[in-house]
Structure 1
Amino acid sequence: MQEYLVNIQITWPDDMTDKQLEQITVEEREMAKTRTKEGHLVRMWRVPGRRENWGLWRAKNTSELHEIIAKLPVWPYMDVKVHSLAEHPVDPQ
């Protein structure tokens, strides 16, 4: 599997109700657990003070990564930037 560093910024619509936001948040957290068990979501970091995160994701290729991310409940509200990663000769792992 290839590794990708993914930056996600979320913009909620002004007309979204608290109940809708709560439901999407619950669904998103459940999906994150599923993606973690599948080996796709490896790590996730929050950007303090922002609706933004960075994650280390794994997929066979960029097409599979797109399919995985596009199925997230928050997808319609996401701005996504993907950075492909390559092995480095001095990587300690």
Structure 2
Amino acid sequence: MEFLVNIRITWPDAMDPGLKAAVSEEERRRAAELAASGNLVRMWRVPGRTENWGLWRAADPTELHTIISALPVWPWMDVTVHSLADHPVDPGPTV
């Protein structure tokens, strides 16, 4: 299944800068692993915000939740998930 996922990150004002840097670095590493496994297909940044939209793949909503809730930034994330269905005029994946 494919999912369109919006993630907004809210870092606490009093967060230790070292912790924030470490969590951010771990998040980038984990995102690379998820891209390599095919779970994270695409990712777009929302300009000027700590927010992104991503195209994700998982077997079902439960697997997607397991993947996203294990992300290092999870405690600071607000997530909205939209399940996607095939459309009859979809031109297919572009390369």
Fold match by TM threshold 0.5: yes
TM-score by length of 2: 0.95
Q: Quote the Cα distance in structure 2 between the aligned partners of 1:25 and 1:80.
A: 17
Shift of 1:89: 0.3
Task: Please give the per-residue CA displacement for 1:8-62, whole angstroms capped at 9, x wherever unaligned.
Answer: 0000012211111110110000000110111100000000000100000000000
How many correspondences in the alignment? Answer: 92
For the aligned residue pairs, the C-alpha RMSD in angstroms reads 0.5
Structure 1 segments unaligned to the other structure (5+ residues): none
Q: Give % identity.
A: 62
Instruction: Write the mapping of 1:1-93 to structure 2, written as runs, cut at 5 A.
Output: 2-93=1-92
TM-score by length of 1: 0.97
Structure 2 segments unaligned to the other structure (5+ residues): none
Runs of 4+ with deviation above 4 angstroms: none
Q: Quote the Cα distance in structure 2 between the aligned partners of 1:24 and 1:16.
A: 11
